[in-house]
Structure 1
Amino acid sequence: MMIAELVDGDDFRQRLVALGVRIPDGACPETCARMARLMHEQVGVEGLVALVAELEAQREVMLPSVRNALEQFLVPVVAGGAKP
């Protein structure tokens, strides 16, 4: 039996923090995505486009709250060609 690790809110936050996005501890996925989007729109977040693509490929192991935040706030901004 294969066990997959779920992409939860903490994992989502940690991946964004690793890209340089400052996010408070315990922030919900929506807050994480909003903060990443804001920073990306203002100054760009190197690696965000790649991270969003990677997470999109992991949709089946993503908690719904993370999936919703990703789709609502980050997919549109990276698809729209905002700052790299």
Structure 2
Amino acid sequence: MMIAELIDGEDFRQRLIALGVHVPEEACPETCARLAAGCHRTRGVEGLEASIRELMQHTELMLPSVKAAIEAHLLPTFSGR
């Protein structure tokens, strides 16, 4: 039996931190996405769009709260560029 690891809020937060986005330790996925979108609009976050697009290719492994946060806050940011 194959066990796949879900992409949860902590995975999402760690990915954003690795890209240089400051995210508080206990931030929920929505807060993470809002902060990342704001940083991206303000100063740009290199690799953010590619990282999020890659994540969105695995929505079947993503918790609904992470997917909803990305769709609400990050995808609109990228489509506006």
Does residue 54 (structure 1) correspond to residue 54 (structure 2)? The answer is yes
RMSD: 0.7
By how many angstroms is 1:34 displaced?
A: 0.3
* Corresponding pairs, count: 81
User: Which stretches of structure 1, 4 residues or more, deviate above 6 A after TM superposition?
Assistant: none
Aligned to 1:9: 9
- CA-to-aligned-CA distance 1:29-75 (integer Å, 9 cap, x gap): 00000000000000000001111111110100000100000000001
Corresponding residue for 1:32? 32
2:45 is aligned to 45
Give TM-score, length-normalised by structure 2.
Answer: 0.96
The structure with the greater share of residues assigned to helix is 2
Q: Distance in 2 between matches of 1:80 and 1:57?
A: 20
* Within-5 A mapping of 1:67-82: 67-81=67-81
Q: Separation in 1 of the partners of 2:5 and 2:77?
A: 27
Alignment partners' CA distance in 2, 1:32 and 1:43: 16
Matched-pair identity in %: 59
Shift of 1:79: 2.1
| Alignment deviations for residues 7-35 of structure 1 (CA, whole Å, 9 cap, x no partner) | 00000000000000000001000000000
Distance 1:55 1:75 in 2: 12
* Ranges in structure 1 where 5+ consecutive residues have no aligned partner: none
